Amino acid sequence: MNNEEFLSRQTNDPSFENIWQEMQWRGLIQVSTDEAKLEEALSGDPINYYCGFDPTAASLHLGHLVQLLVLRRLQLAGHHPVALVGGATGLIGDPRQTSERSLNTRDTVEGWVDSLRSQIEHYLSFDGDNGATMVNNLDWTGGLSALDFLRDIGKHFRVGTMVRKEIVASRLDSDEGISYTEFSYQVLQGMDFMELYRRHNVTLQTGGSDQWGNLTSGTELVRKVEGEHVHAIGTPLITNADGTKFGKSEGNAIWLNPEMCSPYTFYQFWLNTADADVVERLKVFTFLSRAEIAEYEQKVVDEPFRREAQRRLAWEVTSLVHGEDQTQRAIDASAALFGRGDLESIDVTTLHAAGAELPSAEQSDLGERMTIIDLLVATGLEKSKSSARRTVGDGGAYLNNTKIEDPEHIFTATDALHNKYFVVRRGRRNLGFIDLDSASN
RNA sequence: GGCAGAUUACCCAAGCGGCCAACGGGGGCUGACUGUAAAUCAGCUGGCAUUGCCUUCACAGGUUCGAAUCCUGUAUCUGCCA
């Protein structure tokens, strides 16, 4: 199944009067410009709209996925998406709440632009009347001189307004302050909206509500320069009900790039969604209809132990990002490793395939003496021997589903499953895999 | 450019010459309990050859038997003044 085929199976829910209503229901609109006018615009003839993605890493993450899905939902409603990659803004970096960013080199950013671009293409259709358009804001800023920038663009921005933007104000208020570079970011993003309005008649920008200051910077500029009222939608920040940060697993970001986050890890992330969050996640991250989601909502209440909502969520999102084949492999691996059955009873082929999905190590990564400490560190489950020792002391170390309490005990191939595999576990659900065979051949 | 203050582990934040691998909180990890959920309670949270040793309190030097703590210089940040 190619990508266009996969995309063609996605639909908006026809039970909604229009896409605005559906997005409201899915909780995708935290703030926006004039609601009534926006709803009208989105219910009428196709409009052109955009969302920007800055290359600040080699891959997009789950926060970006929300935006990509918003783009896709609007495209399904007949509108024309423009996906912007921030080749220019990525060189500057938008101000973060916490601290000043360190600048990345031009080469690095250029490389990230390419990888982001290919990731974005996966989520939008490029066929038909409203096929997506890709742009890079370096195209209109790269050749712009500082003087032209200050005269033509800067003149439209009031420092008083810029300083009052929430993110700028809070940074000014912090110990660290803010550099002129990051302070200027909002001007660049405002300029993007104006350029896209001129070049592609773009009249709506979507983005995270944390970007609201930058979004309105664009609508204001277009109004001042072009005399046109254009729109902006800010999506809510996705948060976990228990107050932890969404989109992190073991402190690592969940990336969309399979090299940086395996489909297995990705699947597990979604499967571990809390009951309190799962319905909201289904609304935001899947194309399931209102009726279907209502059914899952009931199941969470009636039979939470079945975790059907979580399973469906994990299936849908993993398939969307990694494809159905990869998802099925992640499920098979999960079933083998978390299943009730004895690990001994799993056949070699299944075990081998499951192991491939886990962080793994080979004989060559290990010394002669294999203790549980060595195995935990070799698989990356623990980052130091001290830490591994603590875990053993806590009673959280397992080898082939057996708790290991002696940190000095030496294991050999005869302890391994089928004489060659070790399944190492830290805690309830962090697994690693060791294949003793792969070193010998 | 001048003056003053700040810089402690993932984050916030104590410490003001030995009792400091460094209080406390947050976060994180593990255990009990469970549904690969949440809540609650408990333990842990620099490294290693783990009853001991090593490296950490912005960076580089210095004083001292001994420094996160005192001195000098450098960097960065903040405030006030120019």
Q: Is the pLDDT of residue A251 over 70?
A: no
How far apart CA A231 and CA A297 sit, in angstroms, is: 33
Q: What is the DSSP letter of A151?
A: I
Residues of A from 280 to 299 whose C-beta is within 7 A of strand B: which are they? none
Is nucleic acid strand B under 7 Å from A271's C-beta? yes
Closest nucleotide (CA of A249 to C1')?
Answer: B28
Q: What percent of chain A has pLDDT over 70?
A: 95
Q: How many degrees, rounded to 5, is the angle at CA A34 between CA A30 and CA A36?
A: 100
Chain A residues 376 to 435 whose Cβ lies within 7 Å of strand B are: 377, 383-387, 389-391, 394-396, 426-430
Angle at A169 between CA A164 and CA A173, to 5 degrees: 145
* Both tokens assigned to A270: 């979604």
Q: Is the CB of A243 under 7 A from strand B?
A: yes
ipTM of this complex: 0.82
The answer to whether some atom of strand B lies closer than 7 Å to the beta carbon of A340 is no
* Tokens at A441, concatenated: 């051949």
Is A4's CB less than 7 Å from nucleic acid strand B?
no
Please provide residue A26's backbone torsions phi and psi, each rounded to the nearest 5 degrees: -75, 0
Secondary structure of chain A: what % helix, strand, coil (to 5)?
50, 15, 35
Q: What's the Cα-to-Cα distance from A322 to each of A8, A166, A244, A262, A327, rounded to whole Å?
A: 16, 36, 26, 9, 7
Helix (H) or strand (E) holding A397: strand A397-399
* Cβ(A213)–Cβ(A166) below 8 Å: yes
3-state secondary structure of A84: strand
Nearest DNA or RNA nucleotide to A403 (CA to C1'): B31
Nucleic acid strand B within 7 Å of A101 CB:
no
Is the CB of residue A38 less than 8 Å from the CB of residue A87? no
Exposed / middle / buried, residue A18 (Cβ in 10 Å: 0-12, 13-18, 19+) = middle
Q: Give CA A38 to chain center in angstroms.
A: 27
| pTM score | 0.85
pLDDT grade for A176, boundaries at 50, 70 and 90:
low
What backbone torsions phi and psi does residue A239 show, to the nearest 5 degrees? -130, 155
More confident residue, A148 or A97: A148
pLDDT recorded at residue A174:
67
Alpha helices of A243-371 — where are they, by DSSP H? 263-271, 275-285, 290-302, 308-322, 324-338, 348-356
CA A207 to CA A127: how far, in whole Å? 24
Mean pLDDT, to the nearest integer, of A393-421?
90
Rounded to an integer, what is the distance from CA A330 to the centroid of its chain? 18
pLDDT tens per residue across span A362-381 = 877 776 778 999 999 999 89
Whether the pLDDT of residue A237 is over 70: the answer is yes
User: Which string of DSSP letters, residue by residue, matches A37-75?
Assistant: HHHHHHHSS--EEEEEE--SSSS-BHHHHHHHHHHHHHH
Supply angle C-alpha A235, A239, A243, rounded to 5.
Answer: 155
Q: For residue A249, give the H/E element and its range.
A: strand A248-249
Nucleotides of B under 7 A from a protein CB: 6, 27-39, 43-50, 77-79
Max distance between CA atoms of chain A, in angstroms, equals: 78
Residue A118: exposure state from Cβ atoms within 10 A (0-12, 13-18, ≥19): exposed
Q: Which pLDDT score is estimated for A440? A: 42
pLDDT digit string, tens, across residues A190-210: 999 999 999 999 999 999 988
Taking CA atoms, A94 is separated from A182, A184, A207, A326, in Å, by 6, 9, 13, 34
pLDDT value, residue A291: 95
Whole-number distance in Å between A246 CA and B59 C1':
36
Q: Which of A356, A330, A325 lies closest to A269 in space, CA to CA? A: A330
Q: How far is CA A201 from CA A81, A198, A226, A293, in A?
A: 11, 6, 11, 36
pLDDT tens-digit map of A158-169: 888 888 888 888
Residue A146 carries which side chain, given as an amino acid letter? Answer: A
Distance A403 CA to B56 C1' (A): 34
3 state SS for A107-124: HHHHHHHHHHHHHHHCCC
pLDDT per residue as tens digits for the range A59-87? 998 989 999 999 999 999 999 999 999 99
- For strand B, is any atom closer than 7 Å to the CB of A347? no
